[in-house]
């Protein structure tokens, strides 16, 4: 494959990792632990759905004061790791083969996520993906989470990519697309495995929308 690109920045949940309600399930457990009331639960769940892809602590700050947000974030991370241990973490079909195919052409790979490093590491370990990416980045590494450009720009710096034009940013949410666009990525790719439709992803900044990340190697060929 001949390509002008040097780096592919890949979101995790919903893009390379099957979400299948995992984020919502972890949030529900966190809500029941910290808030423990039905009042406001449905509205909070809608807020979580609308902000998929963003830094989780920022999502929780949109629901209450800082103390509650921190408690919710800690409970969410613990719940998500418990769900991983229950065997509810699987790769998007064809994702690993696609990543290995991209790496074989000389492209650097970065995973980005709104989760904490502990949760990101737990996901990667459970999938047997340790060492698969050249960088694994969270908002703690970059400064701000999506839709800010910090995560892809940090990936560019960590991998020594020559320019933003040489970077591809891939994700399943509006926040992923907006982040890639804000970072000036040479190509912003949306995927349909996270529940967003093509129109929403394109309106957020995606240049190209694919069925899944499994189609990416062919799209970059």
* 8 Å CB contact between 134 and 108: yes
What's the CATH number where 169 sits?
A: 3.40.50.1000
Question: Is residue 156, in this structure, part of any structural domain at all?
Answer: yes
pLDDT of residue 87 exceeding 90, the answer is no
Residues 74 and 110 in one domain: no
Residues 71 and 162 in one domain: no
Mean pLDDT of 158-186: 97
| pLDDT confidence of residue 213 | 98
Question: Is residue 1, in this structure, part of any structural domain at all?
Answer: no
Q: What's the number of domains the chain is made of?
A: 2
- Give the long-range contacts of residues 180-186, CB within 8 A, separation 24 or more: 180/9, 180/149, 180/152, 180/205, 180/206, 181/205, 182/147, 182/148, 182/149, 183/149, 183/152, 183/153, 183/156, 184/149, 185/9, 185/152, 186/4, 186/5
Name the pTM for this structure: 0.88
Counting residues of the chain whose pLDDT is more than 70, the rounded percentage is 99
Residues 48 and 157 in one domain: no
Residues 50 and 131 in one domain: no
| pLDDT confidence of residue 164 | 97
Question: Is residue 2, in this structure, part of any structural domain at all?
Answer: no
Question: Is residue 180, in this structure, part of any structural domain at all?
Answer: yes
Among the candidates 45, 67, 85, a domain finishes at 85
| pLDDT confidence of residue 1 | 40
Quote the domain boundaries for residue 131: 7-19+90-220
Question: Is residue 28, in this structure, part of any structural domain at all?
Answer: yes
Please report which confidence band the pLDDT of residue 48 belongs to, taking 50, 70 and 90 as the band edges.
Answer: confident
Question: Is residue 122, in this structure, part of any structural domain at all?
Answer: yes
Mean per-residue pLDDT of the chain: 93
| pLDDT confidence of residue 51 | 85
Residues 129 and 111 in one domain: yes
Residues 158 and 208 in one domain: yes
Residues 151 and 194 in one domain: yes
pLDDT of residue 208 exceeding 70, the answer is yes
36-45, 145-154, 208-217: the lowest-pLDDT one: 36-45
| pLDDT confidence of residue 64 | 82
Residues 27 and 15 in one domain: no
Bridge partners of 135, per DSSP, are 110
Residues 142 and 124 in one domain: yes
pLDDT of residue 185 exceeding 70, the answer is yes
Residues 97 and 178 in one domain: yes
pLDDT of residue 187 exceeding 90, the answer is yes
Among the candidates 41, 59, 85, a domain finishes at 85
């Amino acid at each position: 494959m001949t390509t002008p690109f040097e780096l592919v920045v890949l979101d995790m949940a919903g893009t390379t990792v099957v979400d299948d309600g995992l984020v919502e399930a972890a949030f529900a457990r966190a809500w029941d632990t910290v808030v423990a009331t039905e009042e406001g639960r449905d509205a909070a769940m809608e807020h979580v759905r609308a902000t998929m892809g963003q830094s989780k602590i920022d999502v929780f700050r949109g629901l209450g004061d800082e103390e509650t947000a921190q408690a919710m974030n800690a409970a969410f991370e613990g719940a998500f790791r418990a769900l991983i241990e229950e065997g509810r973490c699987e790769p998007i079909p064809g994702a690993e083969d696609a990543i290995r195919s991209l790496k074989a052409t000389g492209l650097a790979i970065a995973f980005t996520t709104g989760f904490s490093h502990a949760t990101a590491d737990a996901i990667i370990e459970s999938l047997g993906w340790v060492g698969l990416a050249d960088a694994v980045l969270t908002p703690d590494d970059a400064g701000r989470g999506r839709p800010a450009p910090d995560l892809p720009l940090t990936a560019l710096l960590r991998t020594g990519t020559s320019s933003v034009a040489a970077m591809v940013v891939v994700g399943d949410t509006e926040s992923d697309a907006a982040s890639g666009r804000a970072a000036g990525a040479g190509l912003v790719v949306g995927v349909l495995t996270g529940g967003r439709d093509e129109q929403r992803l394109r309106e957020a900044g995606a240049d190209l929308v694919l069925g899944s990340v499994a189609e990416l190697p062919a799209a970059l060929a």
